[in-house]
Amino acid sequence: MAKYCLECNTKLNLFKFPVKFKDGSVCNSCAKKYDFPGVSEITIEMQINAKSVTWEHYKSHPELIKEWKQEAQERKAEIEARKEEARLAKEEKNRLRCPKCGSTNIQVLGKQKKGFSASKAVGGALLTGGVGTLAGFAGKDGKKVEFVCMSCGRKFKK
């Protein structure tokens, strides 16, 4: 059985991107006239919300779509925040750590001048900042790089 838009009565098909309401469907262009978002912005939650009210109810309650959009935005922000969290966790995991004391205050040993001694560097202001993640060293020539821990002086290769 063919469905027709509750608002404009045109025959609905997939290309009209019908939005389902409790009492039937509305083509996306009619839904948009009442602030319903365009195809690319409709979320699953919005579709579920729409299905819980009739088209007439939706039309007479313009605050509904504002709430739904707000919800969608909050959800999006939540997902973004979780992604960022995961990214930071991964970064933290990839950080170069001293195998002895776990410090991330690591320097590349190979780049130091002759006579450099780890014990001198430790506690000194000779070097600033750590080397960060291993990513910057990996895959250049396949050779292992020698590092030194600025906290305990332990040398190690990665």
Query: Where do contacts with Zn ion occur on this chain (CB under 5 A)?
Result: 5, 7-8, 27, 30, 98, 100-101, 103, 149, 151-152, 154
The Cα 98–Cα 153 span in angstroms is: 9
To the nearest whole angstrom, how small is the minimum distance from the Cβ of residue 154 to Zn ion? 5
To the nearest whole angstrom, how small is the minimum distance from the Cβ of residue 8 to Zn ion? 3
The Cα 95–Cα 19 span in angstroms is: 48
Residue whose CB is less far from Zn ion, 46 or 98: 98
Which letter does DSSP use for residue 81 in this model? H
The Cα 95–Cα 89 span in angstroms is: 10
Q: In a 3-state reduction of DSSP, which class is residue 69?
A: helix
Residue whose CB is less far from Zn ion, 98 or 145: 98
- Closest by CA position to 19, among listed 67, 1, 44, 89: 44
Residue whose CB is less far from Zn ion, 27 or 42: 27
To the nearest whole angstrom, how small is the minimum distance from the Cβ of residue 87 to Zn ion? 26
To the nearest whole angstrom, how small is the minimum distance from the Cβ of residue 109 to Zn ion? 13
To the nearest whole angstrom, how small is the minimum distance from the Cβ of residue 36 to Zn ion? 11
Residue whose CB is less far from Zn ion, 87 or 102: 102
Contact yes or no for 8/28 (Cβ under 8 A) = no
Residue whose CB is less far from Zn ion, 71 or 133: 133
CA-derived radius of gyration, the chain? 30
Q: What angle do CA 100, 147, 123 make, to 5 degrees?
A: 70
